Amino acid sequence: MSTVADQLLDLLDIEQLEIDLFRGMGNGGETTTRIFGGHVIAQALMAAYRTVPDRLCHSLHAYFIRPGDPEIPVIYQVDRARDGGSFTTRRVVAIQHGKQIFNLSASFHIDEEGWDYQHEMPEVGSPEDWPNRNDLRESHVDKIPKKFHDDFLRERPIELREVAPRDFFTPEKASDKNHLWFRMEAAKGQGPQMQHCLLAYASDMNLLGSSLRPHGLTWFQGNVMSASLDHAMWFHGPIQFNDWHLYDLDAPWTGKARGFNRGSIYSADGTLVASVAQEGLVRPLKKKKD
């Protein structure tokens, strides 16, 4: 019997329909009512990788255009924008119901030597110092309607441990700076392309939530509409996502019903392996009158 992690690996092993045309399944992963943003990022990156066999992605930039429908597959169309001596560029359009739901540009680079420098990894304790998200959800399940319990508690593919987690429903205002540890043990033995896609998938987790922290908000309160608007990611070093990685997050600005969020991803030995930026919708929801 396959695990949810195995199912995620299957979701990212997209089907080739024709030259530069691929199909990925829309259901599975983090959410059931819509396609999780990291899901479509990872599948689009994998579609690009299927046309770039000889070098690794160093950056991607993407826009979320429409919500994804988990009930039908997603079609990914790859445009081979440029094949250069050092860099390769691809554009990917994700389509459902005949319309774009997402597009991505990715750049790939040969392995070159250069000067090295990075910020130090923050000291936040080890993953074992913090509860996993399954235990946290178990402790909050009695605060939501029973009909949502199964989905709230269902197993998810990424193991995640927030550093100093807040209360889901009555959080205090907090610093936008926050941290989490994450990994997927089933990533062991996967090639570098799949490691990139798995980290891209996970990079969408908790990122937009940084914008809510200074306002004492979470998604579980039902008073905020949120959605990812764009997503950028830069890969700096080799990734083995079966090992723990620290996600160092902040949100330096919120306004105009949008929040800007950043993240730095470190391997457990302190190596900065990726950087992330995202702007998202954080629109106040007006309460309905009785």
Instruction: Point out the residues that are catalytic.
Output: 204, 228, 278
Name the 3-class secondary structure at 248.
strand
The burial class, CB within 10 Å (0-12 / 13-18 / 19+), for 165 is middle
Helix axes 37-49, 4-12, angle to 10 degrees: 50
Please state, in angstroms and as integers, the Cα–Cα distance from residue 49 to each residue in 24, 45, 92, following that order: 14, 6, 11
CB 246 within 8 A of CB 202: no
* Closest-CA residue to 101 (of 67, 78, 134): 67
**What phi and psi values does residue 272 have, to the nearest 5 degrees?**
-75, 110
Pair of tokens at residue 168: 């889901």
Per DSSP (E only), the strands in the chain are 15-18, 21-24, 56-64, 74-83, 87-96, 99-109, 159-162, 178-183, 224-228, 230-235, 245-255, 258-267, 272-284
CB 164 within 8 A of CB 122: no
Q: Rounded to whole angstroms, how far apart are CA atoms 151 and 159? A: 17
Q: How many CA atoms within 13 Å lie on the side-chain side of 277? A: 8
Q: Rounded to whole angstroms, how far apart are CA atoms 127 and 245? A: 9
